[in-house]
Amino acid sequence: MQVYLVANPKGGVGKSTLATNLAGGLAQRGSRVMLGDIDRQQSSRAWLRLRSPALPPIATWDIRPDAPARPPPGTERVVLDTPAGLHGKKLARVLRQADRIVVPLAPSLFDILATRRFLDDMLEEKALRKRPVEIVVVGMRVDARTRAAAELERFLQDTGLPVIAHLRDTQNYVQAAAHGLTIFELPASRAAQDWEQWAPILRWAGVE
């Protein structure tokens, strides 16, 4: 079972957008997927309640009396959405669950500064782990051709973390989420450009 962690301590950078659409992309390609929410707001669980049973299925935690929450039997891939402010022992505990970590990061000075310490903590935890973990960054609400995208790449140079994709600022994500959909369930006439931007993320996840 592969565990993908979507994490950034900064609020409003697009963690739930990235987590729900990653889960949707994996499910659309035939994987048995669970979307889990570590955030108290339970944004991803609320989104799942909007999702039609006619769409590719995405499960949530298997919760039973007097037992810890765990993925349903047969789950192949787990996507974990995380809260803002994740740090310290709680961060370390969550990181140990992950096989792959994706950090959504908007190319603004405030987002970058708020994320710097978190990236350092993650790289330190990665160095202490006995099993490997892959950490990547996805640029959120950014055009790869802009100066802002270049600044984001420059900021990450000394971390060694790659920016594997840039997702544009579009209402497609907002409108899809409002109906329990992902970008992959919108028509090609609206979302073909977004599907193209998601291709490297799905390759990184091992399904494209």
Q: pLDDT digits over 62-113, tens only? A: 777 666 678 888 999 999 998 777 777 777 787 788 889 999 988 787 888 8
**Distances, alpha carbon 133 to alpha carbons 6, 76, 97, 207, in Å:** 13, 17, 10, 18
Give the model's pLDDT for residue 66. 66
How is residue 21 written in tokens? 């659409």
Could you tell me the CATH superfamily of domain 2-205? P-loop containing nucleotide triphosphate hydrolases (3.40.50.300)
Give the model's pLDDT for residue 68. 65
Helix 15-28 × helix 43-50 angle, to 10°:
40
CB within 8 Å of 70: residues ≥ 6 apart: 61, 62
If you ran DSSP here, which 8-state letter would residue 158 be given? G
Which parts of the chain register pLDDT below 70?
A: 39-42, 65-68, 128, 130, 208
Spatial distance between the Cα atoms of 129 and 112, rounded to a whole number of angstroms: 25
Q: Specify the 3-state DSSP secondary structure of 19.
A: helix
Q: Could you state, in order of their start, the residue ranges of all structural domains in the chain? A: 2-205
Q: Work out the number of other CB atoms within 10 angstroms of the CB of residue 83.
A: 19
**Distances, alpha carbon 170 to alpha carbons 50, 53, 63, 140, 173, in Å:** 21, 26, 35, 10, 6
Rg (CA), the chain: 16
Give the model's pLDDT for residue 39. 58
Handedness of CA 23, 2, 11, 13 (dihedral sign): negative
Give the model's pLDDT for residue 21. 97
